Chain A
Amino acid sequence: MTHAGGHTERVRQRTHEGFLRHKGFRWAQIASGLCVVAVGVYFVTAAQLREPPSGGSWLGYLLGTASAGLIVWLACLGIRKRAVSDGHYSLKAWVSAHVYLGLSLIVLATLHTGFQFGWNVHTLAYTLMMLVIASGGFGIWAYSVLPHRLSANRGEVTRKQMLETIASLDAQLQEAAQPLDRSGAAIIRHSIEDTEIGGGFWQRLTGAYDNCANRQAMIRARALPRPKTERDVEALAKVEGLMQQKADALALARRQMRITALLEAWLFVHIPATFALLAALIAHIVSVFAYW
């Protein structure tokens, strides 16, 4: 905070760094330092003992407490993201710390296990944690690669405009279809009424729209017999042109939804797995203290 002219000038984001590079990789450095210290202490301690230190040793407790604390704190990002408070915080810094401290858990929690795995609730918690981290890793990949594609696909068109374009093409189709006969009109109605733009999450993610109503309508329109009058030929050609335009507009919107779905897909693993992890973690801690 600098004082200029009798009032406090607020802190403004002047640096232009992504969350991974935040403050010159500050959290990457902190997390790596943490890992190096943990590994160092672990192996020095291990050298003095007959068995490697397990979760029950003083080092195990230390690592376990730190890891559990970290997990809870990492899970709080979901609240931090949504609670917009007035004070000075940066969600980017939180995300940066979330990413690197989350990755550091691979080392901290593994050391905590003392490399003892089995078919029990303890290893379940460990596995779930690794699943959360792995899905988060996919998230890092998605966040570093997909924004570019998202932006390139939409250009300067907004979601709303994409939908409006489709709606406007539908209105034009409606008007252009007036001269068509009954079978022609049925085809256009199919395109206007039955076309689903997005569909379910899976459909958006895979981008499979083989049974798209507009697409089927286009195939059926092409199969129609050639109309008798010149006027009707023209009308049919106009309708086909509009349906092609609609197909292009649909493709654009669907590509956008596909990239957006990809950007979100990993969260569908990351978040439920986090809740499962929290539950398993409680089970692990309770069972350790109750039954060890």
Chain B
Amino acid sequence: MAEVYKIAIIGSGPAGLSAAAHAAKKGLSHILLEKTDHLSDTIYRYQKGKHVMATPSVLVLRSDCEFDAGKREKILDQWNQDTRAAGVNVKFNADVKAITGEKGAFTIELKKGDPVQAETIVLAVGTQGNPNLMRCDGGNLPHVQYQLDDPGEYTDEHIFVIGGGDAGIENAMGLIADAGQNNTVTLLNRGADFPTAKKPNVDGLLAARDAGRISVLTESNTSLVEPGWITVDTPQGSSRYKCDRIIARMGAAPPRAFVESAGVAFASPDRTAFPTLSPTFESTTKPGIYVIGALAGYPLIKHCMNQGYDVVEYISGNTSLEAADEPLLKDKLKGLPGNRSVAEWLEFLRSHVEILNGLSPLQMREFLLDSEVRAYNSGDAIFIRNEQGSSVFGIASGSVKVEVDPTNPAITVPIGESSIFGEVGLISGRRRGATIRAAEPCICVEIPRMAALKLMSQVPEARETVNRITTERQVLQIFKSGLTPADIREVLAGAEVKDVKPGEAIISEGDISDDLYIIRSGSMIVEKTLGGKPVFMSYVPAGSYSGEMAMIERSPRVATVKAAIRSTVVKLPAEPFRELLKRKPELDKRMRGEMKARREINEFIESQQDKFGGAVDMYSSVANFLIKQGIGEATDVLLIDESLCVGCDNCEKACADSHDGLSRLNREAGTTFADIHVPTSCRHCEHPHCMSDCPPNAIRRGPDGEVFISDACIGCGNCQRACPYGVIQMDKPPPPKPSLFKWMLFGMGPGPGQPDYEWRKKAGAKQNTESPKLAIKCDMCSGKSGGPACVRACPTGAAIRVSPDAFLSVARIEGGAG
């Protein structure tokens, strides 16, 4: 009978190896199962020399393995040493196939070799070791592989590389690098473009294609794999090609099926959901299996290593272990009234704030690390109208009042205990709509946008609550007029939240429909057919409504309303709304007034179209061009008037000189239409793509609406990949250069602007300091009283910064649309 280990640890990443090291130190019988032949495959597969950062810096490391920021090689060496010193029992090449049995007697079946018996299992497999597989028939044949270690291995082969991301392109380029290998390489891409790949990679690929060294099939899918052949569905039809080898690089996903098959349940069917766990990392559905690390929702190395230590303590029966984050939480909750312990606070907040009700104690801890708890005295302002802010507040005790009328702070609407506020900023990314003050002494928890989004994806009840409250509040805020939640109950009963794809119409001209739409996120454009072609009428940002004319007048739709970008709208049924208008003459008057104003704009454009068709066409086509460039999701965008730009690049130089010597804009790159050039520069999107996956949550929105990257950046490059506009670069600041006068008078240094590569290299060698490459993007010259340097430094007035609603107004027709 084989040995039954006390703990079997699956996965030797930071979490797994820290757990194993601690088990070894404690003298517990253990085994560390690693799929590959080396430790920590995810870090191992980082490119050579990559600088790995240690965040969050406030968190104390508690592990038997050392970890400090530094080069990949140094860290891997350190871990190898530490695990060896601790006497960890590692089994390499142990790819786990299945887990069966119960707590105390688990059997872990391996793909190769004898099964392993263990009392408890620590799952620390992360999310990276699980590439997306080929799903078509024959996808499991042996000539399909998911990694390419050495492209020099293969000669005289027909090779298909599947996937147009960086991995796929780099593999394909590696295979054709040496023409002497005589491989016939084809790259297969599902889409028409390569949005996730880096530009130099795409350029290189297309150049190789043009030179006839590689074939590229776009908008194509594999439909069948046979030995020696591959069948591909292309837009032109299905074709069968000769194929000796397939290299599939189609991304990776959490190994959910495997984890679930072991009996561990996930919080929701959402793709990004995590397993449900007890405060000691134990699965709530399968006792004896503990889940830690990235798979448990903690992607940062320090978190992972601490959890490895903690989980071993828990398994060995230490129930009084203070979590490594306990001092942080204590500190956070220090000045609050009520004299509660951390655990009491967690429970108090969890039970008193509705959206937190569904959280586990472990999730509460993690959640509170990101959030702030504050006590307010009666009358204290919690936030002020027009402030930028995207956090949500939950009321744990007391109540607040909303100043709904900016001209008269005496008119307020109360919000009571357990409810939330500030959620509109979370969803629409716009400024705060009203000032909110404490109505009585109260305790609120402020949840940053990222933490709130995480909460909503993990806890379905939280998502529903936020959606319900948001719709109600948004309706109240848009229509104002002294409405109360009771007034709009019938309207909301039939409300429907809809996602709209870019270009999709929610209202079509001439249709008989009369629902009212509220734009919750994204933006809409209004178009009307004049003289046989669609003419741009107006731009409707998030937080406004559309469709009121047909609703009030029961007439066919007078214009088409379609999404400028991916948007979310709330459809409100017409009949209850008309009832509401009857009951509320004030609202009726208000809406008719706005309808009249909108109609006047439409009529103005129509009249101009008759007289000066050219100017209106120009206005319309410029607007459409800008929308196509993604201006619809911008809040502030840099435009260059090419009829004024002399190409002096003073904008780039000014940018570099006001930001550590690196320019965050590329004037020449980007698209141009009718003398309006959209350079490669941040647009400060309403819902920044870059924010979507920032492990240290370093990307934030500043007080002027600017999206900026804080010092917490770890240089992972996620934001660079996420930005569809290519405005984020990874770089390290060049060494400081001599002053302007030294350059002007004595020719010292490289002069104004971003120093060239040669100078940086030379000056950097003198300094001899290693600094990591971090994400760099426009911060709209945050903190500089004069505003954006690019605009200030433009000698001819060609560079302007505009917000889309200001720029896409009819004033441009009057101004000659120039």
| A contact residues vs B (CB 8 Å cutoff) | 4-7, 9-14, 16-19, 22, 79, 81-92, 94-95, 142-143, 146-148, 150-151, 154-156, 158-160, 164, 168, 171-172, 175, 260, 263
Question: For B210, B672, B786, which residue has the most chain A Cβ atoms within 10 angstroms?
Answer: B786
Q: How far is the CA of A9 from the CA of B704 in the complex (A)?
A: 7
Q: What secondary structure prevails in chain B residues at the interface with A?
A: loop
Any chain A CB within 8 A of the CB of B180?
no
- Report whether A81 and B795 are in contact in the complex, using a CB–CB cutoff of 8 Å: yes
A208–B752 alpha-carbon span in the complex (Å): 32
Closest A-B pairs by Cβ, 5 of them: A5-B386, A151-B642, A158-B668, A88-B786, A92-B797
Q: Out of B432, B654, B657, B800, name the residue touching A16 (CB < 8 Å).
A: B800
Q: Is the CB of A12 within 8 A of B677?
A: no
Residues of A within 8 A of B668 (CB): 154, 158-160
Binds A, one of B136-144, B290-298, B349-357, B645-653: B645-653
CA distance A6 to B431 in the complex (A): 12
Contact-residue bracket for chain B = 35 or more
Contact between A6 and B384, CB atoms less than 8 A apart: yes
Q: Flag if B792 contacts A90 (CB, 8 Å).
A: yes
A288 to B799, CA, bound (A): 45
Given A18-B796, A95-B796, A172-B211, residue A150 in contact with residue B386 (CB < 8 A): no
* Residue pair A158, B669 in contact (C-beta under 8 Å): yes
A32–B384 Cα distance when bound, in Å, is 48
Find chain B residues with CB under 8 A from A7 CB: 387, 703-704
Q: Assess whether A147 is in contact with B795, with CB atoms less than 8 Å apart.
A: no
**One of A84, A85, A143, A156 near B670 (C-beta < 8 A):** A156
Q: In the complex, which residue of chain B has the Cβ closest to the Cβ of A92?
A: B797
Q: How far is the CB of A76 from chain B (nearest CB, A)?
A: 12
Q: Return chain B residues, CB-CB under 8 Å to A260.
A: 647
Query: Apart from A81-B795, A86-B786, A158-B666, what are 9 other A-B pairs with CB-CB below 8 Å?
Result: A11-B787, A12-B791, A14-B800, A18-B798, A82-B653, A84-B792, A92-B795, A147-B646, A148-B675
Say yes or no: A87 contacts B797, CB within 8 Å. Answer: no
The answer to whether A92 and B740 touch across the interface, beta carbons within 8 angstroms, is no
A17 near B797 with CB under 8 A, answer yes
A158 CB to nearest B CB, Å: 4
In the complex, how many residue pairs between chain A and chain B have their CB atoms under 8 Å apart? 143
For this complex, 6 residue pairs linking A to B, each with C-beta atoms less than 8 Å apart, are A22-B797, A84-B653, A84-B657, A84-B789, A87-B785, A168-B211
The answer to whether B786 and A92 have CB atoms under 8 Å apart is: no
Which residues on B sit within 8 Å (CB–CB) of A19? 644, 795-797
CA distance A156 to B677 in the complex (A): 9
- Shortest distance in angstroms between B514's beta carbon and chain A's nearest beta carbon? 36
> What residues of chain B lie closer than 8 Å to A148, measured between beta carbons?
642-643, 675
User: Is the C-beta of B336 less than 8 angstroms from some C-beta in chain A?
Assistant: no
| B374 interface residue per 8 A CB criterion | no
Q: Is B442 an interface residue (CB 8 A)?
A: no
For residue B605, give the distance in angstroms from its CB to the closest CB of chain A: 20
Q: Are A18 and B797 in contact (CB under 8 A)?
A: yes
Q: Which residue of chain A is the closest to B650 with respect to CB atoms?
A: A81
Q: For window 642-686 of chain B, which residues contact chain A by CB distance below 8 Å?
A: 642-647, 650, 653-654, 657-658, 666, 668-672, 675, 677
Contact B704–A14 (Cβ < 8 Å) = no
How many Å lie between the Cα of A274 and that of B175 in the bound state? 59
Contacts of B657 in A (CB 8 A): 84
Task: Indicate which residue in A5, A91, A158, A263 contacts B792 across the interface (CB closer than 8 Å).
Answer: A91
Q: Nearest Cβ in chain A — how far from B439, in angstroms?
A: 20
Contact assessment for B703 and A147 in the assembled complex, using a CB-CB cutoff below 8 Å: no
The distance in angstroms between the C-alpha atoms of A218 and B816, with both chains bound, is: 48
- Chain B residues near A12 (CB, 8 Å)? 636, 787-788, 791, 801
User: When chains A and B are docked, how far (Å) is the Cα of A110 from the Cα of B31?
Assistant: 95
Q: Complex: how many Å from CA A175 to CA B207?
A: 13
Chain B residues, Cβ within 8 Å of A83: 740
* CB–CB A263/B384 < 8 A: no
Contact check, B786 vs A143: say whether CB atoms are below 8 A apart. Answer: no
Q: Considering only CB atoms, which chain B residue lies closest to A139 in the complex? A: B646
Check A147–B786 contact: CB distance below 8 A. Answer: no
In the bound assembly, the distance between CA atoms of A201 and B666 in angstroms comes to 25
Known: A95-B796, A151-B672. A86 touches B784 (CB 8 A): yes
Tell me, rounded to whole Å, the shortest Cβ–Cβ distance linking A242 to chain B: 10
Q: What is the distance, in angstroms, from A166's C-beta to the closest C-beta of chain B?
A: 12
Q: Which residues of A contact B789 (CB under 8 A)?
A: 84
Q: Which residues does chain A contribute within 8 Å of B781, judged by CB atoms? A: 86
Q: Is the CB of B643 within 8 A of A147?
A: yes
> Would you call A10 and B785 a contact (CB within 8 A)?
yes
Q: Beyond A13-B791, A92-B795, is A79–B744 a contact (Cβ under 8 Å)?
A: yes
A6 and B387 contact, Cβ closer than 8 Å, known pairs A86-B784, A147-B643, A263-B646: yes
Q: Are A18 and B644 in contact (CB-based, < 8 A)?
A: yes
Q: Is B488 an interface residue (CB 8 A)?
A: no
Q: Does B730 contact A (CB under 8 A)?
A: no
Give B666's nearest chain A residue, CB to CB: A158
Alpha-carbon distance A22/B642, docked complex (angstroms): 17
Using an 8 Å CB-CB cutoff, how does the interface string of B795-818 with A read, 1 for contact, 0 for none? 111111110001000000001000
- Hey, which chain A residues are within 8 Å of B798, CB to CB? 18, 147
Q: How far is the CB of A289 from chain B (nearest CB, A)?
A: 28
B658 engages A84 (CB within 8 Å): yes
Neighbouring B residues of A172 by C-beta, 8 Å: 210-211
- CB nearest to A151 among chain B residues: B642
Q: Is B385 interfacial (CB-CB < 8 Å)?
A: yes
Q: Point out the residues of chain A lying under 8 angstroms from B751, CB to CB.
A: 82
Partner of B793, one of A91, A147, A155: A91
Shortest CB-to-CB span from A168 to chain B, Å, is: 5
Tell me, yes or no, whether B527 is within 8 Å of chain A by CB: no
Q: Which residue of A lies closest to B435 (CB)?
A: A5
Task: Give the chain A neighbours of B644 by CB distance below 8 A.
Answer: 18-19, 143, 147
**Who on chain A is nearest to B206 by CB?**
A168
A12 to B207, CA, bound (A): 42
> CA of A175 to CA of B212 in the docked complex: distance in angstroms?
11
State whether A175 touches B211 (Cβ < 8 A).
yes
B794 on the A face (CB < 8 A): yes
B796–A13 CB distance below 8 A: no
Chain B 236-265 interface residues, beta-carbon cutoff 8 Å to A: none
CB of B446 within 8 Å of the partner chain: no
Across the interface, do B786 and A85 meet the contact criterion of CB distance under 8 Å? yes
The one of B636, B646, B677 in contact with A146, judged by C-beta atoms closer than 8 angstroms, is B646
Q: If A4-B386, A11-B787 touch, does A89 touch B792 (CB 8 Å cutoff)?
A: yes
A88 to B641 alpha-carbon distance, docked (Å):
22
Quote the shortest CB–CB distance from A4 to chain B (angstroms): 4
The residue on A at minimum CB distance from B783 is: A86
Name the CB-closest residue of A to B751: A82
Report A-chain residues with C-beta under 8 Å of the C-beta of B387.
Answer: 5-7
CA gap between A190 and B424 in the complex, in Å: 66
Chain B residues whose C-beta falls within 8 Å of the C-beta of A82 in the assembled complex: 653, 740, 744, 751-752
How far, in whole Å, are A154 and B650 apart by their CA atoms in the complex? 19
B384 to chain A, nearest CB (A): 4
B795-A91 in contact (CB<8A)? yes
- What's the least CB distance linking A84 to chain B, in Å? 4
Rounded to whole angstroms, the CA-CA distance of A82 and B750 in the bound complex is: 13
The contact of A86 among B785, B794, B802, B815, by CB within 8 Å, is B785
Among residues of B, the one whose C-beta sits closest to the C-beta of A148 is B643
- Give B204-220 as 1s and 0s: 1 = Cβ < 8 Å from A's Cβ atoms: 00010011000000000
A81-B793, A168-B207 given as contacts; is B647 within 8 A of A14 (CB)? no
User: Which residues in window 369-395 of B have CB below 8 A to A?
Assistant: 381, 384-387
Known: A5-B384, A175-B211. Is A156-B791 also a contact (CB below 8 A)? no
By the criterion CB–CB under 8 Å, are B795 and A13 in contact? Answer: no
Name the residue of chain B whose CB is nearest to the CB of A86. Answer: B784
- Find chain B residues with CB under 8 A from A175 CB: 211
Query: A264 vs B793: C-alpha distance in the bound complex, in angstroms?
Result: 18
Residues of B within 8 A of A10 (CB): 704, 785-787
A94 and B797 CA atoms in complex are apart in Å by 11
Nearest opposing residue in chain B for A160, CB measure: B668
In the complex, chain B residues whose CB is within 8 Å of the CB of A16: 641, 797, 800, 815
Is B647 touching A84 in the complex (CB atoms < 8 A)? no
In contact, A171 and B211 (Cβ under 8 angstroms): yes
